[in-house]
Amino acid sequence: MARVFNELLRHMPYRIGNQTRRLYLERTAPVYGRNSIVGRGCRVLHPQGLTIGEGVVVARDVTLDARGGLELEDEALIGFESVLLSHTHRSEEVGVAVQHQGMFSAPVKIGARAWLGMRVLVLPGVEVGSDAIVASGAVVTKSIPPRTIAAGVPARVLKSR
């Protein structure tokens, strides 16, 4: 059902799609704050695990993987084409194909007023603190403290705000 819905929204005009996405997420996500926007072309995996605070803006073509739990606190801003993963493959066993090692989940939390630039990848178990900024193209493998600026692959803290 969600796959069909996501594909349908891709081809809708922006205004109609935005209203439809809001209606869908208000009914399926446990929390969907007022004045929040999820942009056109976004993919939401397991919306039942998604919590969106008030005034959150998720730009176009973002993937929100909430299978392991995903929380976007008030006024968080997620840039175009970012991917927030809370569920992925295990890869600990050398000599065993990754697809045979199973999956694991860990919740992801994006703090209040945090800003993730364009094409940021956030891996399972990561927390981006309140008022933090993550530069475009960063791969966030470890938690980012509040009020800091991080960049790079893997992302590392460059300075405090």
User: Could you list the active site residues?
Assistant: 89
CA distance 91 to 96: 8
Query: Which tokens in the block code for residue 54?
Result: 């008030």
Helix or strand holding residue 95 (H, E)? none
Cβ–Cβ < 8 Å for 157, 134: no
Query: Which tokens in the block code for residue 141?
Result: 């493998």
DSSP label at residue 144: B
CA distance 19 to 141: 33
- Residue showing tokens 């990561």: 126
Q: Which residues contact 135 (CB under 8 A, 6 or more apart)?
A: 117, 120, 149, 150, 151, 152, 155
